[in-house]
Structure 1
Amino acid sequence: MAKELPACPVEMTLQLIGNRWKVLIIRDLLEGTKRFGELKKSVGLITQKVLTQNLREMEESGLLTRKVYAEVPPRVDYTLTELGYSLKPILDSMIEWGTSYKNTIST
């Protein structure tokens, strides 16, 4: 059974990327494919469990793909899908607004 989606587009977007970790994961994957360890390091103070949970949710939502290589030790790559990459303008706006805010309160 399909999950019922919110009627409000803002609520829908927040449901998909509405936590700090998902936005940072998207930010990092906009640069290209990354391995789990690279994401853990670049995202910051996130536990392995929380990173795994967020990556799984984002994969289920269609925002990224996960590719597992049959190697020892196993290698897993994460890449934004076209849908995930379509969030770039939102993150660009967040960067612009955050920079402006920082400049405003710093003066």
Structure 2
Amino acid sequence: MVPDERGRTVGPDPACPVEVALAAVSGRWTTLVLRELMDGPLSFTELRRRLPRLSAKVLTERLGELRQRGLVAVRRQAGFPTRSSYTLTEAGHALRPLLVTLYTTGDALLRLAPPTHRPGRLR
């Protein structure tokens, strides 16, 4: 299951590829922001429109974290007001298979779990 020695750690290790992938998508709303950017650049306002329950504060935080991780780039357009466009970097686009696999796995788990024990559901 582990293709090389980097995955044979005895504890969490920032050089382990699994830890790198999990860190890339960690944080509430992160996967949804990434999903929205998969099809192309969007402005802050467009992201808010697509994710209406996401506050401006949290979106700002997520975009900042994704930029620090090298997954999202921002392009500022001159003018007044200044317009910003957010786009996935090559590393950000590399997350597509992971997000698809997470969705597929989550769907399978929901189908296998009894209704009273499904994650995220109140009893």
Do Structure 1 and Structure 2 share a fold, with TM-score over 0.5? Answer: yes
Aligned length: 103
Structure 1 CA distance for aligned equivalents of residues 107 and 81 of structure 2:
40
Please list the CA deviations of residues 45-64 of structure 1 after superposition, one character each: whole Å capped at 9, or x if unmatched: 22211111111111121101
Structure 1 distance, partners of 2:114, 2:45, is 34
* In the alignment, structure 1 residue 80 sits paired with structure 2 residue 84: no
* Matching residue of 2:99: 91
Matches of 1:80 and 1:101 in 2, distance apart?
29
- Structure 1 portions without partners, runs of 5+: none
- 8 Å contact from structure 1 (residues 62, 81) kept in 2: yes
Whether contact under 8 Å (1:68, 1:74) holds in the other structure is yes
Shift of residue 9, structure 1, vs aligned partner: 2.4
The amino acid that maps onto 1:84 is G
Equivalences for residues 39-58 of structure 1 within 5 A: 39-58=47-66
Please say if 1:67 is aligned against 2:72.
Answer: no
Aligned-pair distance for 1:105?
A: 5.5
Structure ranking higher on relative contact order (CA contacts 8 Å, 6+ apart) = 1
CA distance in 2, matches of 1:44, 1:94: 23
* Contact 1:21–1:43 (CA under 8 A) maintained in structure 2: no
Corresponding position of 2:38 = 30
CA distance in 2, matches of 1:85, 1:23: 12
Deviation at 1:12, TM superposition (A): 2.1
Identity of aligned residues (%): 36
Matches of 2:79 and 2:109 in 1, distance apart? 46
| CA RMSD, 1 decimal | 2.1
Residue deviations 1:26-79 (CA, integer Å, cap 9, x gap) = 100001111101112223422211111111111121101100111222211001
Distance in 1 between residues matched to 2:62 and 2:53, nearest whole Å = 14
Of Structure 1 and Structure 2, the greater helix share is in: 1
